[in-house]
Structure 1
Amino acid sequence: MQLSERAVKEINFQQLFGLNRTIAVVGLSAKSIRASYEVASAMQAYGYRIIPVNPMLAGTYILGEYCYATLNDAAAALRVEGIGIDIVDCFRKSDDIPPIADAAIAIGAKVLWMQMGINNESAAAKARTAGLQVVMDRCIKVDAAIYLNRRTQ
């Protein structure tokens, strides 16, 4: 069994989705046909606040929320509102994850989530050591839907 599979089994998804309400989506696209947009839109519909992070779209609005260039910029702006970023959801290549993990640690995020097809064991280990929960190679939209379905049964 790989470390990532074992770590996922140790995560309490009910607690993860129940306690964490603000999700920074790194690599969020403004194009509705992109997976990042679809996933973020669904999470927003589930009641989560989505914070777009994309340096190419910084200063624009995606899903009605201001888009920031970096996680640090987003965290600083939200601090003014008294809000922290709970989950950092990554739609970037696996090789791009280490600096995102470092930023997630620096801003005090609680969860580092790497979407389907994204794995970076060294970044995951660093994030876990810093106290973050880490999920790799899973879709947050799918797991949230499962959690929400179980909660209503």
Structure 2
Amino acid sequence: MSSKVTPESEDWRARLLSTPEQIDHVLAQVKRVAVIGIKPKDVGGPAHTVPAYMQQVGYDIVPVPVYYPEVTEILGAPVHRSLATIDPPADMVQLFRRSEDVPKHIDEILAAEPSVVWMQLGIRNDEAAERFARAGMWVVQDRCTYVELKRAKR
């Protein structure tokens, strides 16, 4: 995957990914994933099981929970409270947040400059997606990484 492009050199809409081939390509390129909204194991749900599966198949998961201030580690990795503290930075930011909460994270994600922003199944914010795409990021909305990885047999 190429790095950042300017909106003038490429239509930003081309950075909104939806086909299985595009998604497979992204998932093959990404190695380190910051998960905003990840949940601890005792809370469970998709915001824990999906990143756990991703870790199991080889992704480096960086937990960025929104709640649970007492938690210092998730999936054996230290918790970060901001994308700015992640070093080395993540290739992809994965969002487990309600669609209406996505705007709260736009500036932080833009500052972190990941190659990919992935909004999990049921999460869609077209305004945020446009901002990320115009900044040169690849964007996936309303898709489950677990489902996509299983489909690709990973």
Q: Same fold per TM (> 0.5)?
A: yes
Report the structure, 1 or 2, having the larger helix content.
Answer: 1
> Comparing 49-58 with 136-145, which one deviates more in the overlay?
49-58
Using the alignment, how far apart are the partners of 1:11 and 1:120 within structure 2? 22
Structure 2 residue 46 is the aligned partner of structure 1 residue 35: yes
Query: Are the counterparts in 1 of residues 38 and 66 from structure 2 also a CA contact under 8 Å?
Result: no
Listed as ranges, the gaps of 5+ residues in structure 2 are 1-12
Q: Within 5 Å, give how 1:4-153 maps onto structure 2.
A: 7-9=17-19, 12-32=22-42, 33-57=44-68, 60-73=72-85, 75=86, 78=87, 83-147=88-152, 149=153
Listed as ranges, the gaps of 5+ residues in structure 1 are none
Residue correspondences, number: 139
2:134 alignment partner AA = T
1:102 shift after superposition: 2.5
2:110 alignment partner AA = I
- TM-score where L is the length of structure 1: 0.81
Provide closer, same or farther for how the CA distance between residues 10 and 103 of structure 1 changes in structure 2, counting only shifts above 3 A. Answer: farther
Equivalent in the alignment of 2:9: none
1:48 shift after superposition: 0.1
1:72 shift after superposition: 1.7
Using the alignment, how far apart are the partners of 2:114 and 2:40 within structure 1? 24
Query: Are the counterparts in 2 of residues 23 and 86 from structure 1 also a CA contact under 8 Å?
Result: yes
Looking at both structures, which has the greater relative contact order when contacts are Cα pairs under 8 Å and sequence separation is at least 6? 2
- TM-score where L is the length of structure 2: 0.80
Residue-by-residue CA offset, 1:42-96 (whole Å, 9 max, x unaligned): 00001000000014335611000001112222x2xx1xxxx22011111111111
RMSD: 2.2
